[in-house]
Amino acid sequence: MIQQIDRSRANEFWRVIYALGIRHIGERGAQVLARAFGSIESLESASLEALQATGEIGPVLAASARSWLDEPRNRELVARLRAAGVRLEVPESERLHAAGPGPLTGKTYVITGTLASMTREEATTALERRGAKVTGSVSKKTTAVIVGEEAGSKADKARTLGVTMLDEAAFRELLQQYPEPA
């Protein structure tokens, strides 16, 4: 049990944000905030406008996060987590930077099923670093759906809408064809 507690201190920063239970901030919102701000200190000092300027974070999510962060007892909770050694930052190599558009800027992808060569989070990061947007639902505006093993309703919806579907091999080719910007 002690080993499990020690391992939980090293959880990814977005998982900590999600676990805080901030109203309206789900897994995707937590991932976006973690990558955009990089640390709890940056997130705590972010203005409402800065939160809203973050891709995929609209006025409702930004206001909810700002409200949660302004609450004194929540700041005390963050201080206790910090004192307990919980990871409250994203490694520099995983942070999103405003270095300009990438080769997939303007493209929207959805990932469904299980990929053999990487986790969904790794696939999402790979696409985002190339400028793409990754969403959780398929629409006519979706560029392509990356389909792994045991894909479900998202693959069915992509077929119905005529959205391009990429298997894992085609996805890896896409990543090779469009390398990350320097």
**Which of 119-123, 142-146, 162-166 is predicted with the least confidence, judged by mean pLDDT?**
119-123
Q: Is the distance from CB of 158 to CB of 142 less than 8 angstroms?
A: yes
Locate 104 and state its tokens.
């997939």
Average pLDDT, the chain: 88
| pLDDT at residue 165 tops 80 | yes
Sign of CA dihedral 144, 149, 154, 160: positive
Amino acid 161: pLDDT: 95
In the chain, pLDDT over 90 holds for what percent of residues? 55
Strands (E), the chain: 108-112, 133-135, 144-147, 164-166
Q: What are the tens digits of pLDDT across the range 103-141? A: 888 899 999 999 999 998 889 888 988 888 888 889 999
| pLDDT at residue 99 tops 50 | no
Locate 134 and state its tokens.
């990754």
**Where in the chain are the domains?**
2-94, 108-177
- In angstroms, the CA 78 to CA 82 distance is 6
**Average confidence (pLDDT) over 7-24:** 89
CATH fourth-level superfamily of 2-94: 5' to 3' exonuclease, C-terminal subdomain (1.10.150.20)
**Which of 3-7, 25-29, 135-139, 161-165 is predicted with the least confidence, judged by mean pLDDT?**
3-7
CATH fourth-level superfamily of 108-177: BRCT domain (3.40.50.10190)
**Burial class, 63, CB count within 10 angstroms (exposed 0-12 / middle 13-18 / buried 19+):** middle
| pLDDT at residue 5 tops 80 | no
| pLDDT at residue 182 tops 80 | no
pTM above 0.75?
Answer: no
Q: Is the distance from CB of 133 to CB of 108 less than 8 angstroms?
A: yes
Mapping DSSP onto H, E and C, the string for 5-17 reads HHHHCCCCHHHHH
Which pLDDT band holds residue 12 (cuts at 50, 70, 90)?
confident
- In angstroms, the CA 72 to CA 78 distance is 10
Helix, strand, or coil (residue 98): coil
Q: Is the distance from CB of 75 to CB of 44 less than 8 angstroms?
A: yes
CA 82 from centre of chain: 22
Amino acid 94: pLDDT: 61
Amino acid 9: pLDDT: 81
